[in-house]
Structure 1
Amino acid sequence: MAELLYRLGRGSARHARKIIAAWFAVLLVAGLAFAIGGGTLSSSMSIPGTPTAEVTDRLAAELPSASGGTGNIVAQSTDGKPFTDAQEKAIGTLTADAAKIDGIETVIDPFATEAERAESAQAIKDGRQKLADARTQLEAGDTQLNSSEQELAAGQEQLDAAIAQARAAGMYQQAKPELDKQQAQLDAGAKKLEAGRTELKENRSTLEKESAKLDQGASQLEMATEIRTVSEDGAAAITMVVFTEAQMDIEQDTKDALVALFDNATVDGVQFDFSSEITQGVPSIFGPGEAIGLVVAGIVLVLMLGTFVGAGLPLLTALVGVGIGALGALSLSSVLEMSSVTPMLGLMLGLAVGIDYSLFIINRHRHQLKDGYEVRESIALANGTSGNAVVFAGATVFIALLALNVTSIPFLGLMGSVGAASVLIAVLVAITMTPALLSLVGTKILSRKERAALATGPAGATTGAAHAPKTRVRPMSSAVAILTAIASVAVLLVIATPALDLRLNLPDGSSESQESTQYRAYTAISENFGEGQNGALLVVADLPGSPTEEESQAHQMRIAEALFAQDDVIAVAPAGTSTDRTVAAFQVIPAEGPTSESTEELVHSLRDLSPLEGTYDIGVAGSASGNVDISEKLSDALPFYLMVVVGLSMLILLLVFRSILVPIIATLGFILSYYAALGGVVAIYQWGWLSAIFGVDTPGPILSFLPTILVGILFGLAMDYQLFLGTGMREAFVHGAPARLAVIKGVRAGRAVVSAAAIIMISVFGGFIFAESAMIRPIGFALAFGVLLDAFVVRMLLIPALMHLAGDKAWWLPRWLERILPDIDVEGAKLERQHPHTGVEHAEDAEGTARVEA
């Protein structure tokens, strides 16, 4: 590999303009691909096969009207007073116009809905009064029938007595016609009385049925009391939009048209804000924070390389590489379901590793020029040595990110693939475009002072350093090593402690900037309608048999009452039934917001109720439920992925360092820095520490896929630093330096470039801490903080201390294993022997160890 890269560097230097033109042509093609194939990005995420996804798919098949995505538009009067009739009419007109937009199923007019609610409440009140009047009438009729019955009984007694008297007097036959006539009258009265009682009974039965219906309506109205569309003070209203497609499939044009309709409306005294489901389009990929990060990276490059030309080259190559990667990823967004975080992750990684990888090659080239190497000779050798290390380091990041596909989570696998592609492009640009640019700038990569010194010869270029007496390098003391190791581990463990309280979820409107429309909408709903309105759940139930309309209503009432009886449920309302009345849906409003612990527990408790009352199988869907499922799926996938990465780490380090102990302590160091980075994220973004500094307006659960994505990226970067420091230690050791002395030599050889690379990484990642996207901010912090801890605490303090304490045992490897392991020459030492520089002799130190260049 080193020889191939040597030739590639030499060829790139020889054909510099063609190489540079080729890369800009690729950038142009990527731009054209984006213009043609760029599609919709979303902040919503889904995982096939989760309980929420299964319920949503079923709704789409059996109850399409309840399966579409939803969003809220919040209207507020700017003076805090109730809406005027004119304002209500204007909002109603906008609602009607919005319903005509292609891709929208229906738009619910808040004032019409509230009027219907008021009418229903009044109808129930009137109905109760009518029922009371009817009961009074029934009681009066019953009293009248009883009186008539008593009169009939008395008449019958009198008639019976008369008959008895007639019989006793022997006058019965003569009186019989008159007596029969009286009996017929009494019988007719009795029959009429019986008919009256039958009618009364039927009326009472009808009254009871009407009363039951009225009670059911009243109960439903009471259970849905908290589902309001207009606030109690009349100064805020929610317009619910139901889309024809599922949340992830809503066309961006539909959402844009909806937002434009309300934004362009002129309703005096009314402000409109939109929930995150509506305004979840493409966020600004590059903003002020990212620009500041690049400026800081540029300053570090100028300080390290001493020239603006030298500082500009890594920035240029990184921007070309990241442009190709980001535009290429965005060009696939029309055919792939892509989260808005995906291209931004590629941008973040592409910038960071693109600058660092180019820096490694340029730094080696500068040292060689000052040692008297000819420009193209130095370019080829730098590409074959440091370029070889860049390829190997990039390969570790590439593999770790690509391994995200083993989680079997589509959106996470796509993130990993896009990130891996961005790293691959950064590596290719570094080993081809960087040599080409170095060829064009020639010795201008050195400062004027360095070029002037070079004109006097290599010795002058090093300002006599080769001839100056060297400061004797001494290993650290064992006491210092022990204290350093203990202090490093203690600091990392303390910082990692908050990670024990890690809670995962996807961000909601409360996570957005306070100036954003999503945050204003979320806050307005919480304050005027209750937090739970921001995270409504959709419960779907199977109704047994083939129920009639009346039976279906009875089933729905039983289910609604059982749901309403659950803790942390404040409202339940029917949301529709299938055409065959075998599936019913219910809107359930939790007590707290979508990311709260109580809502998460409610999702589980509702699912645990199935079969409800032993009869009804139920399922739970909705955005809050989907976020819970995604978070749990990611949590379940994390341990396996972590094992894959740890195993990969052990294997890579075993091949590179040909040691058993080095891979173990290096991997344990990575695990410490990983959990410490998570601890920092929890402390700031979940607990709210230093929230004013980092712009955390509303602390809450941590982005559900952050721990997983952090494993892949931080692992790759940690291996980079381990590689550049550890190979220096090994190089010194194999050249005869004692093990403990080799540790110090390796650290001194690589600390400057690793420090610069880490600071650049921190600057680039740190720029995303203040990004527009609520999802990308904690990722930027986690990566910046993770790199800070891993580079400066783990790699430069903890690992050297442990290596010192291990002594010669640090490089022990069983002979049988040594024989079967391939010899990977990461630093290109063999290449230097194959292409020796004859201009100057390599300086040897007092111990006979060759000088190691970072």
Structure 2
Amino acid sequence: MAELLYRLGRFAARRAWLVVSAWLVVLVAVGGAFAAFGGTLTTAITIPGTPTAEVTDRLQAEFPDAAGGTGTVVLHTTDGTELSETQRAELVDVFDEVSGVEGVNAVVDPFAVQAQLAEQQARIDDGRAQIENGREQIAAGQEQLDAAREQLDAGQAQLDAAVAQADAAGLLAQAQPQLDAQQAELDAARAELDAQAAELERQAAELEAGSEELELGAAQLDLAGGIRTVSEDGSAATATVQFAEPTYEVLAETKESVVEAFEDNPVDGVEVDFSSEITQSVANIAGASEIVGLAVAVVVLIVMLGTLVAAGLPIVSALVGVAVGALGAMALSGTVEMISVTPVLGLMLGLAVGIDYSLFILNRHRRQLRDGMELHESIGLATGTSGNAVVFAGLTVLIALLALNVTGIDFLGLMGTVAAGCIAVAVLVAITLMPALLGLVGRRVLPRRQRGARQHVRRTKAVREMSTGAAILSLVVGIAALVVIALPALDMRLGLPDGSSEPVDSTQYQAYSVVEEKFGAGQNGPLLVVTDVPDGYAGTEVAAFQVAVGQEIAALDDVVAVAPIGTSQDQTIAAFQVVPADGPSSESTEELVHTLRGLSITGEPGVELGVAGAASGNIDISEKLADALPTYLAVVIGLSLIILVLVFRSILVPIIATGGFILSVFAAFGGITAIYQWGWLGEIFGVHQPGPVLSFLPTILIGVLFGLAMDYQLFLVSGMREAYVHGTPARAAVIEGRRAGRAVVTAAAIIMVSVFGGFMFSHMAMIRPIGFGLAFGVLVDAFVVRMLIVPALMHLAGDRAWWLPRWLDRILPDVDVEGAALERRHHVAGEPDAVGTPDVANAGEVTSHGR
């Protein structure tokens, strides 16, 4: 590999314009592909097979009216006064226009809904009064019937007495016709009374049936009493946009058309804000803060390298690499469902490692030029040695990112694949475009004072071993510090951001805040609860069942209101809107979802509840990601051990490196939890409302930090191993290796922290914690784990650090990561030790490894 890279570097340097032109062609091609095939990014995240997804799929098939996604438009007066009739009328006209947007089923008019609720309550009150009046009338009629029956009974008694007297007097035959006529009159009257009684009973039954139906309606209205569409003071209203497709399948064009309809028809004195379900599409993947981070990296390079030309080369090559990688990823967004974080992660990583990888080659080349090596030979040798290490370092990051596919979570696997593609492009740029650029600028990569004759090589003095006491102190202090930092991770709770975590000046945050203030936090994330209607239920039985279920739900803690949405056309599924007490990302809402799924309905054995909706979906996704985390961590740790055993031919060194990686990861988790979940230093990092940690952040962080930690381990410990195999005592080799590699690790870490740090203040809420986590993780891994803990452990281990069983030593291939064999083959007479590990901290000094 090293020889191949050497030849590639020399070719690129000699045919510089050809290589540069080729990359320009590639850049134009991916740009054209993006323009032709690129789609729109979204922040909507879905995972098939979760309980929410299963409920949504079933509703879409059997109850489509309840399956469509919804978004909230928040309308509020700019001065806080009540919405006027004129403003309301103009808004209704806008609602009508939005209802005509393709992909929108309807817009629920909040004013009409509130009026209907008031009208329903009035009808219920009027119906109750009518029923009470009817009961009074029935009671009066019953009294009249009872009085008439008493009169008939009295007449019957008189007639019976007359019959008896006539019979006793022997006059019955003569009086019989008259008596029969009287009996017929009494029988007819009794029949009439019986008919009237039957009618009265029928009316009473109808009245009671109407009363039951009315009370069921009243019960449903009472359950939904906490749901309002117009605030109590009349200054705000929420219009619900009902989409034809489920929440996560609504086209970005549909959402944009909804926003445009409101923006194109402004209502004087009314401000319009949109929930995150409507404004999920992302117009761009980078903002001002990311540029600031890049500017910091430029300053670091200028200070480090001492010349603008040299500082500009890594930036140019990295920008070309991320442009190719990011545009290539965006070109896929038209055919592959891609969340906004996917290309941003590739941009973030590609920019950071692209600068670092180019810097490694650049500094090796600069030092060789200072030692008098011919230009093209120096470029080739730098590409074959440092470039070889770059390829290996890139492969470790690439493998860790591709391993995200083992989680079985599609969007996470796609993120890893796209990021891995950007890393691969960064490596290709470093070993092809960078040598070409070095060939074009020639010796201008050196400060003017160093462009003349060969610089004298200043040898390092003999190193002294670290004292055992200092090693123990470093180890204890380093581990204790990381453990303390990691402690908040014990309380880490995963979730997805809602409107409260968006920038304060964003429409999502404004919409969330107005709803929370005017209607209650729970209305920012209502739950959709569904259940099967028992077989054989019909009519009022179904309504009674809905009320029974609704009352059971309403009796739960943290439930503000329950609104029965209705039943499917065949009356087999009933749906409810449940408004929790707190916001969608709160712990109480998460507990409520689990409680609802396990709720047993009194008197309805076997009835189970399903929960869907955006809040429920976010909870399920976070739990699925949390479940996949241990598996992925185990895979990464296994990869770490295998790769490091292969590189360092040792058992203990990989264990030390992997243990340090775990410490770095959990320290990063702790820092993220303290800031983004607990709210510590929130004003500095723009955390105005703490919440759960981004659910896929731990998994992403593990993959990325693994790759970067292995880079640092390589550049630091390889110097120790090289010194040791050339005869330096093990403990002295630790100091020599750290001295040789610390400049590289320091430079890489500072640049990566600068680039990642720029994303901590991104305009995208999901990117901020990722930027912080990567920046903080790199910081602690480079300066605490690799610079402090690893050397201390290596010192304490001594010769045992490099022990490897003989049988394993025989079967392991010889991985010449730094291209030592290439150096020997292309060694330039009179230049011993001039091509060792690059020391980016000292422009005029070369460090010897004892070769």
Match in the other structure for 1:27: 27
Structure 1 residue 65 displacement after superposition: 1.7
Structure 1 residue 553 displacement after superposition: 2.8
Map 1:254-293 → 2, pairs under 5 A:
254-293=254-293
Match in the other structure for 1:706: 697
Match in the other structure for 1:751: 742
Map 1:567-716 → 2, pairs under 5 A:
567-609=557-599, 613-716=604-707
The superposition leaves residues 658-691 of structure 1 with CA deviations (integer Å, 9 ceiling, x where unpaired) of: 1111000110000001000010000000000000
Q: 1:492 is matched by which residue type in structure 2? A: L
The structure 2 residue matched to 1:824, chosen from 815, 832, 841, is 815
Match status 1:764 vs 2:761: no
Q: Give me the whole-angstrom Cα distance separating, in 2, the residues matched to 1:57 and 1:660.
A: 51
Q: Is the 8 A contact 1:284 1:772 kept in 2?
A: no
Structure 1 residue 540 displacement after superposition: 1.8
Q: Give me the whole-angstrom Cα distance separating, in 2, the residues matched to 1:134 and 1:167.
A: 48
Match in the other structure for 1:203: 203
Match in the other structure for 2:470: 480
Decide whether aligned partners of structure 1 residues 45 and 772 sit closer, same or farther in structure 2, where only a CA change above 3 A counts: same
Structure 1 residue 247 displacement after superposition: 1.9
Match status 1:471 vs 2:461: yes
Decide whether aligned partners of structure 1 residues 828 and 797 sit closer, same or farther in structure 2, where only a CA change above 3 A counts: same
Partner secondary structure for residue 563 of structure 2:
strand
The structure 1 residue matched to 2:848, chosen from 826, 844, 851, is 851
Q: 1:851 is matched by which residue type in structure 2? A: S
Q: 2:442 is matched by which residue type in structure 1? A: G
Q: Is the 8 A contact 1:510 1:522 kept in 2?
A: yes
Match in the other structure for 1:512: 502
Structure 1 residue 843 displacement after superposition: 7.2
Q: Give me the whole-angstrom Cα distance separating, in 1, the residues matched to 2:835 and 2:621.
A: 58
Match in the other structure for 1:789: 780
Q: 2:96 is matched by which residue type in structure 1? A: A
Q: Give me the whole-angstrom Cα distance separating, in 1, the residues matched to 2:644 and 2:238.
A: 58
Match in the other structure for 2:186: 186
Q: Give me the whole-angstrom Cα distance separating, in 2, the residues matched to 1:9 and 1:853.
A: 27
Same amino acid, percent of matched pairs: 61
Structure 1 residue 266 displacement after superposition: 2.5
The superposition leaves residues 398-434 of structure 1 with CA deviations (integer Å, 9 ceiling, x where unpaired) of: 0000000000100000000000000000000000001
Q: Give me the whole-angstrom Cα distance separating, in 2, the residues matched to 1:208 and 1:611.
A: 26
The structure 1 residue matched to 2:491, chosen from 495, 501, 514, is 501
Q: Give me the whole-angstrom Cα distance separating, in 2, the residues matched to 1:691 and 1:639.
A: 29
Map 1:511-530 → 2, pairs under 5 A:
511-530=501-520
Match status 1:490 vs 2:487: no
Match in the other structure for 2:841: none
Q: Give me the whole-angstrom Cα distance separating, in 1, the residues matched to 2:751 and 2:760.
A: 15
Match in the other structure for 1:738: 729
Structure 1 residue 87 displacement after superposition: 0.7
Partner secondary structure for residue 105 of structure 1:
strand
Q: Is the 8 A contact 1:104 1:254 kept in 2?
A: yes
Q: 2:179 is matched by which residue type in structure 1? A: L
Structure 1 residue 546 displacement after superposition: 5.5
Q: Give me the whole-angstrom Cα distance separating, in 2, the residues matched to 1:840 and 1:552.
A: 92
Q: Give me the whole-angstrom Cα distance separating, in 1, the residues matched to 2:332 and 2:831.
A: 52
Structure 1 residue 549 displacement after superposition: 3.9
Q: Give me the whole-angstrom Cα distance separating, in 2, the residues matched to 1:83 and 1:45.
A: 36
Map 1:408-487 → 2, pairs under 5 A:
408-451=408-451, 455-459=452-456, 462=457, 465-466=458-459, 470-487=460-477
Structure 1: state its 5+ residue gaps: none
The superposition leaves residues 542-579 of structure 1 with CA deviations (integer Å, 9 ceiling, x where unpaired) of: 22336444443333333323322333222222223222
Q: Is the 8 A contact 1:710 1:783 kept in 2?
A: yes
Q: 1:17 is matched by which residue type in structure 2? A: W
Q: Give me the whole-angstrom Cα distance separating, in 1, the residues matched to 2:850 and 2:378.
A: 13
Match in the other structure for 2:824: 833
- Give the CA RMSD over aligned residues: 1.7
Q: Which moved more, 1:219-228 or 1:165-174?
A: 165-174
Q: Give me the whole-angstrom Cα distance separating, in 2, the residues matched to 1:775 and 1:382.
A: 39
Match in the other structure for 2:102: 102
The superposition leaves residues 60-109 of structure 1 with CA deviations (integer Å, 9 ceiling, x where unpaired) of: 11111221211000000112121111011111111111000011111101
Q: Give me the whole-angstrom Cα distance separating, in 2, the residues matched to 1:513 and 1:545.
A: 50
Q: Give me the whole-angstrom Cα distance separating, in 2, the residues matched to 1:577 and 1:177.
A: 66
Decide whether aligned partners of structure 1 residues 843 and 98 sit closer, same or farther in structure 2, where only a CA change above 3 A counts: closer
The superposition leaves residues 805-837 of structure 1 with CA deviations (integer Å, 9 ceiling, x where unpaired) of: 111111111111111111101111111001111
Q: Is the 8 A contact 1:572 1:586 kept in 2?
A: yes
Partner secondary structure for residue 41 of structure 1:
coil
Structure 2: state its 5+ residue gaps: 837-845
Match status 1:5 vs 2:10: no
Map 1:543-554 → 2, pairs under 5 A:
543-545=533-535, 547-554=537-544
Q: Give me the whole-angstrom Cα distance separating, in 2, the residues matched to 1:405 and 1:842.
A: 43
Map 1:210-289 → 2, pairs under 5 A:
210-289=210-289
Q: Which moved more, 1:215-224 or 1:143-152?
A: 143-152
Decide whether aligned partners of structure 1 residues 611 and 422 sit closer, same or farther in structure 2, where only a CA change above 3 A counts: farther
Structure 1 residue 583 displacement after superposition: 1.9
Q: Is the 8 A contact 1:15 1:436 kept in 2?
A: yes
Q: Give me the whole-angstrom Cα distance separating, in 2, the residues matched to 1:101 and 1:325.
A: 35
Match status 1:163 vs 2:163: yes
Partner secondary structure for residue 605 of structure 2:
coil
Q: Give me the whole-angstrom Cα distance separating, in 2, the residues matched to 1:323 and 1:505.
A: 31
Structure 1 residue 160 displacement after superposition: 2.0
Q: Which moved more, 1:560-569 or 1:493-502?
A: 560-569
- Normalising by the residue count of structure 1, what TM-score does the alignment of the two structures yield? 0.96
Match status 1:812 vs 2:809: no
Structure 1 residue 623 displacement after superposition: 0.8
Match status 1:53 vs 2:65: no
Structure 1 residue 146 displacement after superposition: 1.3
Q: Give me the whole-angstrom Cα distance separating, in 1, the residues matched to 2:326 and 2:662.
A: 30
Structure 1 residue 173 displacement after superposition: 2.9
Structure 1 residue 158 displacement after superposition: 2.0
Q: Give me the whole-angstrom Cα distance separating, in 2, the residues matched to 1:332 and 1:247.
A: 22
The count of corresponding residues between Structure 1 and Structure 2 is 841
Partner secondary structure for residue 636 of structure 1:
helix
Match status 1:559 vs 2:556: no
Decide whether aligned partners of structure 1 residues 217 and 390 sit closer, same or farther in structure 2, where only a CA change above 3 A counts: same
Match in the other structure for 1:779: 770
